[in-house]
Amino acid sequence: MSATATYAFMGKTILITGGAGEIGRATAHRFAANGAAVVLLDINETKLAEVAQGLKDYGNPVYTFCCDVTQSEAVAQAFARVIEQVGHLDYVFNNAGYQGAFATTDEYPEEDFQKVIDINVVGVFHILKAAARHLRATGGGAIVNMASHAGVDGPPNMLAYAASKFAVIGMTQTAAKDLAPHGIRVNALSPSLIGPGMMWTRQTELQAGVGSQYFDSSPKVVEQQMIDSVPLRRLGRLEEVASGVAFLMSDEASYITGFNLDITGGQ
């Protein structure tokens, strides 16, 4: 157990996609520490089990479901199993994602572009649709879609990722309008530089490897260049991402929908 109490989620249930990943795990801890039952969905079964094990001491129910969000039939089946085993969901954190390749636009690999769009756009759509149907049928709730600061200001060498996260913010705005009449709030969260962690290490190494005018060829120097580009001059912590999710799901945000919480600014 590590997360501290912030908002009251006692008796509530959250489904987190990408629940085996770093942000998924930090958010699961935050909600479990605040009394919620947690449903983790991911394609990585081994890591799902590890994250679930780490949540046991909070004493709230934890469920895991292995599912590839890019497959609409698999998502529909997973939601059917969730509803059968867990019952009612209150919150859905649509968070599974992939950072993609790092390359200039003229060199960007087509296969990888498709993979990024499949996971970050089509996958987010499948979960958004399934969540909307469930929450509409059960009287409402809240959805947070994971975007990125790359969906506000396209970074160099990340063509597919920027396209996918701009799309997530667009889907959030439309879904918020479509679902408001059904008591469903839909917001997006856009972290910038979060770390330490796999995504942070990966992006500094791969940006250094591209050899563009924007970043040095040494990952250590790239780290500093990126940190110098954000107003707070430090990385955001995983717990600070979880705080954004908790706020947007909470009753404190009861009049907030269609909003993109762009949490750190900069590169």
User: Among 261, 204, 193, 266, which Cα is nearest to 230's?
Assistant: 266
Separation between Cα atoms, residue 40 and residue 63, nearest integer Å: 6
DSSP 150: G
| x/- letters, 219..248, toward ligand NAD (CB under 6 A) | ------------------------------
DSSP 251: G
Closer residue to ligand NAD, CB minimum distance, 2 or 139: 2
* Under rule CB under 6 A, residue 23 binds ligand NAD: yes
Q: Which of 7, 63, 91, 161 is catalytic?
A: 161
* Under rule CB under 6 A, residue 6 binds ligand NAD: no
Separation between Cα atoms, residue 143 and residue 180, nearest integer Å: 11
CB 98 within 8 A of CB 150: no
Closer residue to ligand NAD, CB minimum distance, 141 or 191: 191
Closer residue to ligand NAD, CB minimum distance, 88 or 115: 115
Task: Please tell me whether the peptide bond between 196 and the residue prior to it is cis, using omega within 30 degrees of 0.
Answer: yes
Smallest distance, ligand NAD to C-beta of residue 120, A: 6
| x/- letters, 93..122, toward ligand NAD (CB under 6 A) | --xxxx--------------------x---
Instruction: Give Dmax over CA atoms of the chain in angstroms.
Output: 53
Q: Binder to ligand NAD among 34, 60, 64, 148 (CB under 6 A)?
A: 148
User: Among 190, 98, 89, 63, which Cα is nearest to 143's?
Assistant: 89
Closer residue to ligand NAD, CB minimum distance, 38 or 137: 38
Cα 204 from chain centre: 20
Closer residue to ligand NAD, CB minimum distance, 140 or 266: 266
DSSP 236: B
Cα 233 from chain centre: 23
| 108 flagged as catalytic | no
Smallest distance, ligand NAD to C-beta of residue 74, A: 9
Binding segment toward ligand NAD, per CB under 6 A, in 39-47, 83-91, 217-225, 252-260:
39-47
**Helix or strand or coil: residue 27?**
helix
> Alpha helices of 138-197 — where are they, by DSSP H?
159-179
Smallest distance, ligand NAD to C-beta of residue 111, A: 15
CB 25 within 8 A of CB 62: no
* Under rule CB under 6 A, residue 194 binds ligand NAD: yes
* Under rule CB under 6 A, residue 123 binds ligand NAD: yes
> Contact residues for ligand NAD (CB under 6 A)?
18, 20-24, 42-44, 47, 68-70, 95-98, 119, 123, 146, 148, 191, 194, 197-200
Catalytic residue IDs: 161
